[in-house]
Chains A and B, each alone.
Chain A
């Protein structure tokens, strides 16, 4: 049987292959011809010679080999950075070998001819394959295998047709090509050089544009030494735009103009050269989609998150105690969890709101319960972690849709288990590194179609010629792409190796030169015009410089008028008319923004009834809650409707958190019905109690990172406790209740709240105490201005109600009963704020005991009158369904008049958005209400 020769046309990449295939299909012989890049050639050769896949070494073999030579040039680096070192050495090994003669062991000349560091690199690299069992990296191994293949074993000889230099090939590749051609040669040539000619004319095409035009000159002379200078004409332009998105939009507009101006022009004759950057793809797709312009060849890669390994990663974060709440929340809301995403979201938000031990919103399966338990526990031993991890992987359940992710989760946990095996302690960061979540590339292959605008990519050959080209992203580091310097073979080392032992390793500057030639080939595939779009800014707004190639273009194309830049800026009115094809908007009138001023809201219903409990009973308000309608009724309503923003944030030692801790310490230290702790024990007991509170409420503070905060807070709390104990002693007070729920009525609504401390003083007097984790100035100011409502509302509760009755089915304890009695028989109820930061007591009462108490400050005025008046009025309005909106300058106004920081207005951005226009600086919207309230009181 006569063997037919297969012709393989070697091209640099798939794009070139696409172009060549079409040319072949339209002309010459059409069967028995393959077109493809090097990778394809190797595959076909392997099939043709029936060679099995070559055993490549895996990374761990390689790392073992690297570790075995302790005196190699990489040894020290390998010890500190194994992955990076292995990677660099591997690449160096490949590039060194590719540059040698594949049939002969390379010989090093004597040290006198080839001394120093470069010699050491080469020697170490050459000896490396020995420790790898003579194996070579990837491609080289395959080539070596093929070179040794028996010529007679070939089923289908392959003749390689190629053009010198495009693509650039290494010595090894050349050797393989030679062998293939030699062995195919025996079967005769069938195409008479026709194929060579076709390939040559496509891959090494000369300038396409009119040589007299500026574009023609660029095509012919860019990067060449000899020059001809030409004025810019209609064939080229450089346009400066703000950013990549504007590039895409401007280009789309220009394409539309072009088409309009030249009805005979087909879209496919217009080209876009697009950087290898997914931002560009998104922007181009978007802009051209708007314009209804079909695209051909736009990469459609989309990255996806690596949910499986991510889940494992965060699971590890959860098991390392103290776990941060965001780790918990992320874990709980992973779609791989054995519960619904909605349930996950609810639990995650609960964690974010401070609950470190969330429960299921509804009934849960056994698996779900087990998983929840796993996430909450922690480890200090490798063994328990390994067990947990296995269980975790088994419990994951993402359903059909996420089964691939689940599989990757399994693999990732296996990697971690491997590292845990035999480990004596847990190295958390090392384990996290082993998980290696990465972005997954997915998405569809680009649509190459006949009609659409031709899209070329920065690092690819043009796949069909165009008449007009738009080059996007003509900025620094692109066209040509900047090359990274290689750590082993720097330019200097490469030069030394070339001179010392004649091995010509491919250098970064060689690569740079090829990249330049590629860019010129791209330019040469254009016949009529090229527009270079230069983005002046990056996405985030920083400026960037134009491509370094611009100077080379400037040399050939020079502006006539002095001072006129080659680049026309879309931002300059005088430049606008020299930009060709630029689409201008006909509609110039801006649309005025939406007007948000809507006046107070009239919702025509009793708003206090919103969100009543199951029996339709209006929910009681708390003293802090009632500050909301005072400052911003809209804030109150938003909260009532459960429509506060759901934000995530990492933990921080904010005053609220610390205040809660301090409260807990005080609760522990001063329980009802007991003696005060000894003064010299206060410190120790406060610290112990604080540790417990941290463990429960703010575990993150145990993390070493928060050491300063922990120390500082502890010290502050201890001092406050010491002072407070002294105050209690001096008052001779009896502690009647701590954290005591009270309830009562005020202004027609139910109120309730937890009083921090209730003290009984001699003579049946009561003191209700509120601890504040602040300094006293602000609170005192607020009290002096009559704007402190909180403590007074507690007093109101005591007077109109009393301790909250125990839940049905539980008897009140003796203490509770006692307290209830004390409250009803009290001869006067005073209130005190203890501000912990400066250890001051602010009270509405002067007591006989108080003058000797440092920092006791009694106010003489009615500390709550104004606040209560306003709240009363607001509640009445809410009853009527009226929600008063804030004024734009309410923050300053409220702070000035009431001594209150209007944090309530930060509850939602909607409050400021819908605020009424600024009032006069002197206008006091509250004045009238207070006035009215006062006069009513006088009646």
Chain B
């Protein structure tokens, strides 16, 4: 309709100008009038990327003076896929019968709800009772108990079902049955269980008959032998004396390896013989039907539990109007699929669809997006299969691969590289085929050469046991230090000019966080500044001080908090003094604590945010940390604390309740905070840019970024397989529109007998190996000028796995298969192509010059911000910008004491008994005088006008009083006109605007009178009058300054039925 291609696929290698292409293409389409800016749908990987794309297109349009278009762009759907899904959900909420304002479920809440949903099904009980047997053990690294680990896997099953886009129970059953079938196929033939067990049992009995007691005392000559013999004996006794052999495959596995003589320890011959027989009998574990049956039960439990839990989870969410991230996609996908009317309405609003980073979509997301393209929306898809590294989040790059394959005619690959210097690009182009074979297409370098040599290798022929990462990182660090100290020059990205290298031009990329931490440590010890978010935020000094101050504020009886505060940075005590005070007085005394005591007023109902802010201010913590050597980090840490307080306040209460956090006070906040820090304890970045600091980041997070110099470390890492695993695959990719119908469930169990685990197949099929190749590509293609590679040659000497006889795959060997270093010629050989490179040989121990004298953390910039503020105290008194006369109190100094006051009664005064008191009563009486003064006939409507119900007769009494006053008014003055509720404005001598409303301005031929109604009950009208002088004067002045003659001012004391007035100076009655 608008002359755009129905589908365009843009495979875009690293540095090929992907975002530029998208921006350019969209810009062109808008300029050519082919699409309207507000009718673009663009899906990016992050919110930041969306903001950037929007800004870039805007700039493009503005460049062409298309201001209107640029403004309209703000309504375009440029967001993450979740944002897009959510927009569909809300925009079509009414058509779809959904909540128009769904709330995003917090992670805590999601956990709690799923926990509850899981509790509603019993299908996991058999597994739960025996978690150890099913391979769930405490994970000390993640601090997770077996139950937690199992729950986590159930969650994975829940997620898995949801991404299948499944709608019916039957479909689910079919998928499950299919998974069972393939599980059995994989396992191979089995034999009868009973004979296998009886044979083993018999042989154990034989052994124990001959050796009834453990022989470790006599033959346990080495520690290992001793431990083995103890363990073996226990296993043998257990196997013989109980039913364990029927179900305990670990026991079988252990019996396969019952110790016999070896080079170092000699056991009795008889023992060897009998133990050998035990071993052969236990070998039959490999064709025992039991393990397969267990795997089946395990899978069944996961799948059924998952399926059941989804039901109640969805219900619970629906009831509370909640959505989670998967819903944003799943529900939107389902809406478009099941409701052609909605799809139609959506497509009517969209001119084109752009999807960036397409390789990172999962099947459900794909299915959502693909429906738009099937509905005829011109679609532009950009991605790079080689950079698909988000598999751990459920992304399935096979989709993009299929897209490239099925639509190769629509493909417009980008063939240039704008990032790396030509000499470096040549190397990347040579390595490409090593990683991807024929599928790699070289990119043509566009940048000219840099003064900097493109490749360096830091080689390690040997490794030592301890501190390996640190030593290797140390050699890299030394090399980087040389570059920074020397005259290494690079080309500036923005200016295109040569300049010398700075710390922030360098990135060290590691595969995992633990290696990263080791690298960071090495770099710092070597005197280099790093930009790295280390763990330890909560335990950092500044946060701890704040924490304890809050704890003290919450409970002044908290001795620990008091002690901590007294003996740390802000306190005045030594540890000894603090402890002595506790011993002597049972409490700690310190000026700091007194400052906090003054805050305790109002602790009860102040919000946590306010309390945190006030506490930090009261103890002056921001000021204190500003002067610390790492003050930037400390203030960033405190700010995160404030931010967390805000987040705590914003958290949904029900969500907190569900996860066991009750209350909104400090103690609950602190409890919540420590759990939060367990999730993420990283220090927030201390600054935005740190010119001197070397960036440390993982390969994953390096995606999309670039640096002049990049060092890739941690290549020695083994590629480990974590079984069991559950995942999705597809029967075929032929019909992309129906991809969700081709789904199937893969299950990779973990059998006790290792050789049955099919690890190699797993690695291939679950694409782990491929994914590592892609990760390597991402890491290697980040550099603009120079690439430094850690080259761990010693990995080649690693021993193969004892049982399987195969080497554990690792990252380095992916490269080393076809790449090598020639140290003689200083050349890097890639499949026969040779590239000159610098070779640095690393060793087992760091040279002495490694440890730097200087402190790497010393800030290089002049301090700004807080430290640059000159401390002053605030002015004592300020003049209000405006004043209301009624707020002015007391007599004015300038008024003569000897005021001529006149007073006259006009009636009894009213004391309205209408159930009001104080200010409310005053307002009511005022209203009555105002309304009835102007319109006596409105007495019947008085109740509805004032909204006050008066008992019988009361209204009439008030009306009479008003009438009395009005009559008096008519008599007292020769009234020409009366203005009621008349606004007055003027400026007082101090410059404040005086703005008020005079109740009555009575105009006579000679001039005006200003009168005000007052409902106070006063003893002496004269005294009371003085109290209102200032207000009356203000009114007088306002009129006078407008050129009016004011004869006098007065007050109607409603409750006395009396008017008091004074004459203006120079007037006489």
Contacts and interface: CB of A to CB of B under 8 A. Distances in A.
B610 A302 contact: yes
A711 B124 CA distance: 10
B667 A291 contact: no
Contact of A914 (B101, B575, B982): B575
Interface residues of A, number: 190
Interface string A558-582: 0001111100011111001000001
Interface in B17-45: 38
Given A304-B607, A854-B234, A487 B51 contact: no
A749 interface: no
Contacts of A305: 604-607, 664-665
Given A452-B878, A488-B100, A551-B62, A570 B993 contact: no
A673 to B, nearest CB: 29
Given A304-B606, A439-B649, A645-B560, A242 B636 contact: yes
B869 A290 contact: yes
A439 B858 CA distance: 43
Contacts of B498: none
Contact of B882 (A21, A246, A293, A706): A21
A253 B241 contact: no
B981 interface: yes
B863 interface: yes
B880 A448 contact: yes
A450 B881 contact: yes
Contacts of B100: 77, 81, 84-85, 88, 487-488
Interface string B983-994: 111110011111
A286 B617 contact: yes
B560 A80 contact: no
B611 to A, nearest CB: 10
Nearest to B613: A282
B98 A303 contact: no
Interface stretch (A159-167, A534-542, A751-759): A534-542
Contacts of B663: 310, 314, 326-327, 329-330
Contacts of A2: 977
A707 interface: yes
B202 interface: no
A4 B935 contact: no
A487 B94 contact: yes
B224 interface: no
Interface stretch (A412-420, A587-595, A891-899): A587-595
Interface in B545-575: 551, 555, 557-561, 563-564, 567-569, 574-575
A530 B67 CA distance: 23
Contacts of A482: 74
A292 B871 contact: yes
Nearest to A88: B100
Interface stretch (B114-122, B169-177, B914-922, B1016-1024): B114-122
A52 B944 contact: yes
B580 interface: yes
Contacts of B98: 77, 80-81
Interface in B303-339: 318-321
A359 B1020 CA distance: 58
Contacts of B580: 603
Interface string A635-654: 00110011111111111010
A77 B627 contact: no
Interface stretch (B279-287, B683-691, B836-844): B683-691
A922 interface: no
Interface stretch (B127-135, B430-438, B470-478, B518-526): B127-135
A571 B881 contact: no
A449 B67 contact: no
B979 A402 contact: no
A541 B636 contact: yes
B879 A571 contact: no
Interface string A146-157: 000000000110
Contacts of B146: 712
A590 B627 contact: yes
A286 B866 CA distance: 10
Contacts of A550: 55
Given A488-B100, A593-B629, A292 B872 contact: yes
A429 interface: yes
A565 to B, nearest CB: 8
A570 B981 CA distance: 55
Interface stretch (A190-198, A624-632, A905-913): A905-913
Interface in B654-688: 654, 657, 659-665, 667-668, 670-671, 674-675, 684-685, 687-688
Interface centre among B234, B345, B868, B979, by most chain A C-beta atoms within 10 angstroms, is B868
Contact of A551 (B59, B568, B639): B59
B852 interface: no
Contacts of A584: 862-864, 868
A250 B663 CA distance: 36
B640 A327 contact: no
A73 interface: yes
A578 to B, nearest CB: 14
Interface in A706-723: 706-709, 711-712, 714-715
Given A539-B639, A598-B574, A650-B659, A448 B321 contact: no
B800 interface: no
Nearest to B927: A47
B71 A155 contact: no
A606 to B, nearest CB: 11
Interface in A514-571: 516, 536-541, 543, 545, 548, 550-552, 554-555, 561-565, 569-571
Interface string B950-978: 00000000000000000000000000011
B94 to A, nearest CB: 5
Interface centre among A33, A583, A637, A653, by most chain B C-beta atoms within 10 angstroms, is A583
Contact of A4 (B241, B558, B664, B979): B979
A569 B687 CA distance: 11
Contact of B1038 (A6, A30, A543, A582): A30
A287 B690 CA distance: 24
B827 to A, nearest CB: 36
Interface stretch (B5-13, B264-272, B489-497): B489-497
Contacts of A326: 660-663, 668, 671
A341 to B, nearest CB: 8
B485 interface: no
Given A439-B607, A572-B689, A642-B559, A22 B983 contact: no
Contact of A583 (B145, B662, B687, B869): B869
A71 interface: no
Interface stretch (B85-93, B364-372, B419-427, B755-763): B85-93
Interface string A649-674: 11101000000000000000000000
Contacts of A563: 492, 494-496
A317 interface: yes
B238 A708 contact: no
Contacts of A422: none
B605 A25 contact: no
Contact of B629 (A333, A582, A592): A592
B579 A80 contact: no
B155 to A, nearest CB: 12
A606 B319 CA distance: 64
Contacts of B560: 638, 643-646, 908
A548 B629 CA distance: 36
B461 to A, nearest CB: 27
A512 B663 CA distance: 38
A50 B931 contact: yes
Contacts of B544: 909
The 4 closest A-B pairs by CB, nearest first: A541-B684, A292-B872, A76-B97, A539-B643
5 contacts: A22-B993, A77-B94, A450-B991, A593-B629, A705-B116
Given A30-B984, A598-B576, A645-B551, 8 more contacts: A405-B605, A449-B880, A571-B688, A571-B691, A585-B863, A585-B868, A588-B863, A653-B145
